[in-house]
Amino acid sequence: MSMRHLYSCILTAIVAPLILTACKNSDENKSQTASDMTAKSGITRTEFGTVDGKTVYLYSLTNAKGDLVKITNYGATVTSWVSPDKNGKRTSIVLGFDSLAGYLAKPPYFGAIVGRYGNRIAKGKFKIGADTYTLALNNNGNHLHGGIKGFDKQVWEVAPENDSIPVVTLSYLSKDGEEGYPGNLKVTVTYTLTGDDGLKIEYNAETDKPTVLNVTNHSYFNLTGDHSNTILDHKVMIKSDYYTPVDSGLIPTGELKAVKGTPFDFNTPEKIGARIAQVPGGYDHNFVLNRADSSLQMGVTVTDTASGRKLEVFTTEPGVQFYTGNFLDGSIKGSNGVPFNKNTGFCLETQHFPDSPNQPKFPTTLLKPGEKFHSITMYRVSVQ
């Protein structure tokens, strides 16, 4: 049985009983409106700097509607996503920097691919069969987002591109023992900017020893297109009846808790700020997406009335970490000098659940030799 099939069986087994019982603000193209814009779709490459003796590039993906997404192969990171607001003004809807230096200063995973295991593994320990593995500890005695030098801090390989199509494929070989993980893991991430302003992210991976894997993209969105605003007025809808409560170290207790009657119920759209004060520290929780199988489905929408922008999130993953930028404290500044303050971005990290390797009731994140890991997430932006 493939990991994905196993996941849907396990998820059904967990949830069914519960149901029964209970950047810079870019001024690029400022004078043009969305409707009079017809751009040449494709991809261009410029040098972005040097890391570990390797040249790092910035890839600019443009679609015919003029949306522009920039991606660097340092961390396979989305640095900018310029899209129009309801007045046609084009600004970036993700937090990022326009130079490599911003990323080398270790911002909290802005736009990066995180892995080998995105999110937390308690005490950095897990077992596969009789073997215990100990991972690098980088978050209050726990392992977070792949450790000290995770996928977000690696230089990824990029295959030659067809410059008339806005698609870029990045690959990385994570060696046996890296950050404590077993097995040589080859991972590829393909970003496609679609004609209807979707950023599709496709993940593929294979290993030569049993390992655990949970890769995601860690973009922080601010749909106002101006990170001097908070995201507290954005309205969020999450198709989720359960979330995974956490302890003080943000490690899941193992319980799937009903959202009904709590500040975690986003089945009806709610402003982020409406109940955030009732959630100590702010939202930083994994939501179990309502779904019967692992096909690509819409799980989350976010709207911002001021800009008219709407973000839709589609995924094949069973969960999503909704994080409201609680740890941003103004100490990091954008390329325009404006600080990234608390709640100036939100993340929707599509994923398997945190600490799954230690939670036998959660969908498995085990990947075995011979299996092909495949996962898709798409973020799509539109104006209303």
Supply the minimum distance, in Å, between the C-beta of residue 144 and ligand BGC: 7
Question: Which residue in 154, 321, 356, 375 binds ligand BGC (CB under 6 A)?
Answer: 321
C-beta of residue 100 within 8 angstroms of C-beta of residue 72: yes
- CB-based burial of residue 281 (10 Å sphere; 0-12 exposed, 13-18 middle, 19+ buried)? exposed
Q: Which residues of 326-351 are buried (b: 16+ CB within 10 A; e: fewer)?
A: eebeeebebbeebebbebbbbbbbbb
Residue nearest to ligand BGC (CB): 108
Q: Going residue by residue from 199 to 238, which x/- string records binding to ligand BGC, judged by CB under 6 A?
A: ----------------------------------------
Q: Which is nearer to ligand BGC, 166 or 325 (CB)?
A: 325
Supply the minimum distance, in Å, between the C-beta of residue 356 and ligand BGC: 14
Q: How many residues bind ligand BGC (CB under 6 A)?
A: 9
Cα(346)–Cα(224) distance, integer angstroms: 12
- Catalytic residue flag (residue 157): no
Neighbour tally for 306: CB within 10 Å: 14
Question: Which residue in 327, 329, 330, 372 binds ligand BGC (CB under 6 A)?
Answer: 327
Q: Does the protein bind ligand BGC through residue 109 (CB under 6 A)?
A: yes
- Catalytic residue flag (residue 218): yes
Q: Going residue by residue from 250 to 289, which x/- string records binding to ligand BGC, judged by CB under 6 A?
A: x---------------------------------x-----
Task: Give the CA dihedral 329, 332, 338, 339, nearest 10 degrees.
Answer: 0
Q: Which stretch binds ligand BGC (CB under 6 A): 7-15, 91-99, 319-327, 360-368?
A: 319-327
Question: Which residue in 66, 75, 108, 111 binds ligand BGC (CB under 6 A)?
Answer: 108
Q: Which is nearer to ligand BGC, 84 or 146 (CB)?
A: 146
Residue with tokens 């941003």: 328
Q: Which is nearer to ligand BGC, 197 or 349 (CB)?
A: 349
Q: Does the protein bind ligand BGC through residue 323 (CB under 6 A)?
A: yes
- Which one of 178, 179, 317, 349 is the catalytic residue? 349
Q: Which is nearer to ligand BGC, 243 or 323 (CB)?
A: 323
For residue 52, is it left (φ>0), alpha (ψ between -120 and 50) or beta?
A: left
| The dihedral sign for the CA sequence 2, 4, 7, 8 | negative
- Which one of 218, 227, 234, 352 is the catalytic residue? 218
Cα(243)–Cα(265) distance, integer angstroms: 9
Cα(250)–Cα(284) distance, integer angstroms: 8
DSSP 8-state secondary structure symbol assigned to residue 153? G
- CA-wise closest residue to 202 among 183, 221, 215: 215
Cα(333)–Cα(97) distance, integer angstroms: 9
Cα(75)–Cα(43) distance, integer angstroms: 19
Q: Which stretch binds ligand BGC (CB under 6 A): 23-31, 67-75, 240-248, 320-328?
A: 320-328
Supply the minimum distance, in Å, between the C-beta of residue 315 and ligand BGC: 15
H or E stretch at 13: helix 3-21
Q: Does the protein bind ligand BGC through residue 349 (CB under 6 A)?
A: yes
Supply the minimum distance, in Å, between the C-beta of residue 365 and ligand BGC: 16
Q: Which residues are catalytic?
A: 218, 349
* Contact residues for ligand BGC, defined by CB under 6 A: 108-109, 250, 284, 321, 323, 327, 347, 349
